[in-house]
Amino acid sequence: MLRALILLCLLVPGLARAQALETRRLADGRSYLFAAPKGVAHPPVILALHGGGGNPRQFARSSGLVAPALARGYAVAFPAGSGRTRLLTWNAGHCCGYAAAQGIDDLGFLDAVVADLAARDGAGPIFVTGMSNGAMMAAAFAATRPGTVRAGAWVAGTLDLSRYPPKAPVPVLHIHGDADPRIPFDGGAGPKQLSPAVYPPVAEEAAAFAARWPTSAPLRERSGNLIRDIYRDRAGRPVVVTLRVVGGGHTWFGGRWARRQALSATQEVLDFFDAWR
């Protein structure tokens, strides 16, 4: 995976660039990229976490998240994971790479990013998203910081339930292909995974988040190759949603490198966040 990412960056010169992004550094030397909509006071902020072996600029460009988020009035922060090179990872418990091996306190780092956003921008509600290893980290942050996170939505990564069981109700959306060879939809070890982790099924993660809400059993909706399992609260709001992409692999659906997918993960994430603003 890391070699493929290096080759991709060499072959596509524009991959590492992203529009309208300011680099911000914290006191400990770690950083995040930031963009805010013009003329919006105290905007809601989306923390967007890159995948393992990625970096903030790569994820901003490959997801295509910045422009549509700004258009809807969100600010976007892309925190940087850690590593000895630009191929960065997150310590999400069961994964991944340098960050997990070194026991990096990435929950504490995200707390520091949120505090910095509050001090500099008077930021509004905090939302969190991510891809793959970044999805695992987003899920861990949502599970352990329900008083901070208004809602979470992630793609192709599952929560380490043994370390980070959800503490309190928080709305979540999980998008995942059921042919993902790296992080299997039904859990276990994938044939192409790059870590020794055994991942929980997506449905088990959803049930753990739903258990913190007063919900009934999930209802299933199907449209083409998309299957949604939806837990609703007593007011009928969709509080925990899994979006299964039949035949889908390990990708940010509809992003720069997955344009053949009819599904847009960016649109699904923003629509879900809009419902909780």
In this prediction, residues 192-211 reach a mean pLDDT of: 93
Token pair in block for residue 226: 């998309």
Residue % of the chain over a pLDDT of 90: 82
- What whole-number distance in Å separates Cα of residue 140 and Cα of residue 45? 18
Measured over the CA atoms of residue 8, residue 180, residue 173 and residue 2, the dihedral's sign is negative
Residue 122 domain boundaries:
2-274
Say which range, 79-83, 88-92, 135-139, 215-219, has the weakest mean pLDDT: 215-219
- Domain containing 63 — which CATH number? 3.40.50.1820
pLDDT of residue 114: 98
Residue % of the chain over a pLDDT of 70: 91
Say which range, 11-20, 62-71, 155-164, 216-225, has the weakest mean pLDDT: 11-20
The predicted-structure confidence for 226-246, as pLDDT tens digits, reads as follows 999 999 999 999 999 999 999
pLDDT of residue 16: 36
The predicted-structure confidence for 141-176, as pLDDT tens digits, reads as follows 999 999 999 999 999 999 999 999 999 999 999 999
5: pLDDT strictly greater than 90:
no
Q: What domain count does the chain have? A: 1
Q: For tokens 């035949």, what's the residue? A: 247
Confidence of residue 260 (pLDDT cuts 50, 70, 90): low
Q: E strands within the chain?
A: 22-25, 31-35, 45-49, 75-79, 126-131, 149-155, 172-177, 219-223, 226-232, 238-245
In this prediction, residues 55-68 reach a mean pLDDT of: 96
Question: What strand order describes the sheet that includes 126-131?
Answer: 22-25, 31-35, 75-79, 45-49, 126-131, 149-155, 172-177, 238-245, 226-232, 219-223
Instruction: Say if pTM beats, i.e. exceeds, 0.75.
Output: yes
